[in-house]
Amino acid sequence: MAFAPVLHSEWIKIRTLRSMLWALGAIVLATTAFSALAGLDPEGGDFDPLFTAFFGVSFGQVAAVAFGATAVSSEFQNGALRVSLSAVPQRGRWFAAKAVAVGVPALAVGLVTGFVTLTVGRAVLGDKANGITWTESVRGVVGCAVYLALMALFATGLAAVLRSGAATLGILIPFLILVSFVVGDASGGVADFLPDKAGQAVLHQTTEGSLGPWSGLAVTACWTAAALLAGAWSVRRRDA
């Protein structure tokens, strides 16, 4: 079967599952809400207006992870994967279509999220947002979208390996929310290369770590690529 009809079938699965649509909506709502709350009580001496405007991404990424994990883990329930693979025997092609069907809407919703979050964040910050330049605004919106899409795809790959949405969320959510804060400065800079901290460098007005805005996203992309390769290997080698 050609790639286009496979992709179309995977997109139908996603848009007809209510939980998938709720997860996409939660990305926008969670990111915007927590960014607005952060703007009401901005930080002191090391205040970064751009990151404050996008602070909610740390919470919106949870919904992105849930979206990617659920899209794959649903295939391992009630023999759904066997049905999918009977229609598309080329397992690599099927998994590639699944990844595209996850990544494209996550990126599109991420762009909407970035624009809405920046707009709300600037409105809440008021005069404190005057230091955000046009270039930084564009970088923040695009970086937000790419980062959220990468997180969704990271979960997609891991869910294909673990074959469980609960296990994927149980690993990724504590990892993304807690590990960077726990490791912190005690890691000697290692925390800068964790997928969340590296990717979120693009949302900072200035970066103090080892990575710049786009090199940080590149590191997150490497984590995502590794997870997707592991997921593709798992789908190709293990029984459905």
Q: How many CB atoms lie within 10 A of CB 97?
A: 23
Residues 6+ apart with CB under 8 A from 227: 153, 154, 155, 156, 157, 158, 161
Tokens of 199: 């990717």
Global pTM?
A: 0.92
pLDDT at 131: 84
Q: Which two tokens stand for residue 139?
A: 């970088």
Domain ranges of the chain: 3-235
pLDDT score of 185? 53
pLDDT of residue 201: 92
pLDDT of the residue at 143: 97
Which pLDDT score, from 0 to 100, does residue 43 have? Answer: 63
Measured CA to CA in angstroms, residue 102 lies from 92, 107, 185 at distances of 15, 9, 34
- 63-75 pLDDT, tens digit per residue, is 999 999 999 998 8
Residue 130: predicted pLDDT: 85
- Residues of the chain with confidence (pLDDT) below 70: 1, 42-45, 180-188, 239-240
Q: What is the pLDDT of residue 33?
A: 95
- The predicted pLDDT at position 48 comes to 87
Would you say 53 and 132 are in contact if contact means Cβ atoms under 8 Å apart? yes
